[in-house]
Structure 1
Amino acid sequence: MKHKDRVTLTVIVALLVFASAVIVPNAWAQRLKGTPTGSGSSSGSVSAGGDGSVQIAVSAEYVSAAADGAGGGGVSVSAQSVTASVHPVCWYEQDRTGAEVAEWIDSNQAEKEYSVHGNWGGIRSYIESEYPDYDSYADDTEGYWYKPWCDWKYYNGDDPMEYQKLFAEFTSNGPVYVPAGQAAPEPVIDGATLARAAWDAVTIPTATIGYNPSVGQSRATVVGMDTWIWATGDTPKEVRVTATAGPVSATVTATASRLTLQPKDGTATCTGFGIPWTEDNDRLGTDCVIVFDRSSAHFKDSVTPVDVKVSYAITYSATDGAAGSLNTHTTSTTTTIPVAEIQTIIVRPTDEP
């Protein structure tokens, strides 16, 4: 969906939601046009500038695909902890002080702004229900009202009706008053948004490989032979990422089933992560080989480039009931393998005298 389409859709959905409330205040109508109300920065877990972003801690654990002893094969071999900034779909934005809202209502300016959108009865009572006990804060110039708001551009789904439902439920809470020195209302990060932010925050290690034959000082393999390939070290076959924001926790699981190899001057067949070559394993066979059809002599440094990729299928679940999948993630790197030719001399046997 194009950005322009999303902006248009945001406006349509927001209008539908507020139409259900019968009265659309002018201040909120300005919001729909992109003109924010209120001023100043928020406090608490809402970031400076009032955009609703929060910081989250993200942890990742990697399960190795290696079976060569370096990574353990199926054992958790490494972990990562990072912080990330995530924006909720819905949050509270700082509006005006208690004194400013009281003056806005008592001067009838609020009624004038609401009346622009129709000649509805009960406007004053509606405004007062939106700002309960507003007159109690009429002398407070340091405390602020905070208004609930949602934005389509932070929504991870594609269903406008679901977004409309979310928008209606959250904004029906109405503004809340926060005295000076107290934290602003914490935004709730939904499970899908949290999962996406957590996944985007981590870095997935690229694959490393071992091979055999490995002949001489150059550790070269040989043209025309099956070159065994296997994952080594911290090459992940599974990644588990977790994050928590307020009452919601999300877990992202990424799994891969094989190496994808693209050698220059050769053909790869790989249906798994490979098996390290040993004499015992040689009798069993492997699931990952390259057959090179030319030596490395024509390459720089006399080594043949091999592209190594691993693709991960990604799913997530969260404590708020959210669950689903994310786009496939692929790591990619290029390694090199020296490839040599073995030359033989065929001698025709002669008859003994």
Structure 2
Amino acid sequence: MALVVLSIGLPVMASSNAWAFDVSGGASGSGSSSGSVVQGGDGSVDIAVYAEFTSAAPDGSGSGSGGGVATSSQVVTAAVHPVCWYKQLRTGAATAEMIENTSDPDLAESLGEMFDGYDQHAEDADGYWYRATCDYRYFLGDDPRDFDAYAREWLDGKTPVYVPAGQAAPESVVDGETLARAAWDAVTIPTATIGYNPMVGDVGATIVGMDTWVWATGDTPKEVEVTATAGSTTATITATASMLTLQPKDGTATCTGFGIPWTEENDAKGTDCKIVFDRSSAHFKDSVTPVDIKVSYAITYTATDGASGSMDTHTTSTTTTIPVAEIQTIIVQPTDEP
């Protein structure tokens, strides 16, 4: 079964491909953007995205022993293109001219029925007709049949609508999954920062062969919550991480959590994140040893339109440096001299 495609500036055409790239119908009634949604001229929608980061540091700064708290937030604006939206066509005057100059009487009659009441706007060169349109490029699924079903349901019963100058274009509808993924992509997740102990001398060096305690500091997130709203749909994305992943040069890391800041009291309890360096930093530039730090987040989302699911794991990566010193020891053998 062919899908009907309406092309700007051309009469109605039928696609021979059942999985048409652009599926068009029309729009009944009109709407307006509201809340955090602003619709662009190309059908895209600007959304305000809110993110809150819960720090993995014990008190949000890397010292103390309190519980982790939300230490930072982020507000960004992103553009998301819905799968289906209302596309601007010709002005009222241009549409009337097109229909009235169509040489095929049957086609002219068909267009007149599609653009019902077009003659009432024949003198208006400022207002525009809009039609409902769906585009496979913005569909998140892999099966064209799913897109076809989605588009047919959304387009069902919708006919072109006329919007006078100065009035809002019909509001685009962004589904929950599309909204969630666009919101997540808009957020920048802070990379991890760490503290360590021991810190010896003026450069704060740790020691070869000793357990170097490492812990998350500052805004290193262990949880991220992102929300965004488009029209009547709100999406909430939650990303959680359970540990630091450390990869030091010239050393071995063991990490099952975000670390415990070293104190004399904690020293007896131990830590869940440490590095043992097996060589000093003397051979590195600036005499510091690089340590790669990664944090991986498992991501799920829900939306008020019923959409829910998971996204691919997101990993932040950064590299810090730690000076490593080697303590030289001299063993003196006692002598039996009288």
| Aligned residue in 1 for 2:212 | 227
**Is this contact kept in 2: 1:90–1:151, CA < 8 A?**
yes
> What RMSD in Å do the two structures reach over aligned CA positions?
2.9
Kindly provide the amino acid, as one letter, of the partner of residue 70 in structure 1. Answer: S
| Secondary structure in 1 matching 2:12 | helix
Q: Report whether the alignment pairs 1:130 with 2:132.
A: no
**1:298 has 2:283 as partner:** yes
* 8 A Cα contact 1:98 1:134, kept in partner: yes
Q: Is 1:54 equivalent to 2:39 in the alignment?
A: no
The residue aligned with 1:63 is 54
Alpha-carbon shift at residue 139 of structure 1 (Å): 3.5
CA offsets per residue over residues 298-324 of structure 1, 9 Å max, x none?
111111000111111111111111111
Partner of 2:202: 217
Could you say which residue in structure 1 is the equivalent of 2:166? 181
Separation of aligned partners in 1, 2:284 and 2:164: 71
- The answer to whether structure 1 residue 267 and structure 2 residue 260 are counterparts is no
Matched, 1:156 2:140: yes
* CA–CA separation in structure 2 for the residues paired with 1:33 and 1:74: 49
Q: How does 1:1-353 map to 2 (within 5 A)?
A: 16-18=2-4, 26-29=11-14, 45-47=38-40, 50-67=41-58, 70=61, 73-109=67-103, 124=109, 127-172=111-156, 173-349=158-334
Identify the structure with the greater strand proportion. Answer: 2
Amino acid at match of 1:77: T
Is the Cα contact below 8 Å between 1:64 and 1:73 reproduced in 2?
A: no
Shift of 1:188: 1.1
Shift of 1:33: 8.1
Q: Residue 333 and residue 205 in structure 1: after superposition, are their counterparts in 2 closer, same or farther (change >3 A)?
A: same
Amino acid at match of 2:183: A
User: d(CA) in 2 for partners of 1:263 and 1:222?
Assistant: 14
Q: State the Cα distance separating 1:231 from its structure 2 match.
A: 0.4
Structure 1 residues 100 and 68 mapped into 2: Cα distance closer, same or farther (>3 Å)? closer
Higher helix proportion (structure 1 or 2): 1
CA contact (8 A) 1:304 1:336 kept: yes
Kept in 2: contact 1:110–1:127 (CA 8 A): no
Contact 1:105–1:111 (Cα < 8 Å) also in 2: no
TM-score by length of 2: 0.84
User: 2:290 and 2:107 mapped to 1: Cα distance?
Assistant: 69
Look up the match of 2:29. none
**Cα offset for 1:349?**
4.1
1:174-218: CA deviation from partner (whole Å, max 9, x where unpaired): 211112221111111111111111111111111000111111212
Q: Aligned partners of 2:60 and 2:168: how far apart in 1? A: 51
- Looking at structure 1, the residues matched to 84 and 104 of structure 2 have their Cα atoms a distance apart, in angstroms, of 25
Distance 1:194 1:348 in 2: 74
Higher mean C-alpha displacement, 90-99 vs 135-144: 135-144
Per-residue CA deviations over 1:236-265 (Å, capped at 9, x if unaligned) read 001111111111111111111111111000
Percent of residue pairs bearing the same amino acid type: 68
Contact 2:85/2:172 (8 A) holds in 1? yes
Q: Are the equivalent residues in 2 in contact too, given 1:221–1:338 (CA < 8 A)?
A: yes
In structure 2, C-alpha distance between the alignment counterparts of 1:111 and 1:234, rounded to whole Å: 69
Give the 3-state SS of the residue equivalent to 2:302 in structure 1: strand
Amino acid corresponding to residue 116 of structure 2 in structure 1: P
Query: What letter is aligned with 2:52?
Result: E
Cα drift, residue 29 of structure 1: 4.2
Aligned counterparts of 1:110 and 1:242: Cα–Cα separation in 2: 52
Gaps of 5+ in 1: 1-14, 20-24, 37-42, 115-123
The TM-score normalised by the length of structure 1 is: 0.81
Bigger mean CA offset, 308-317 vs 137-146: 137-146
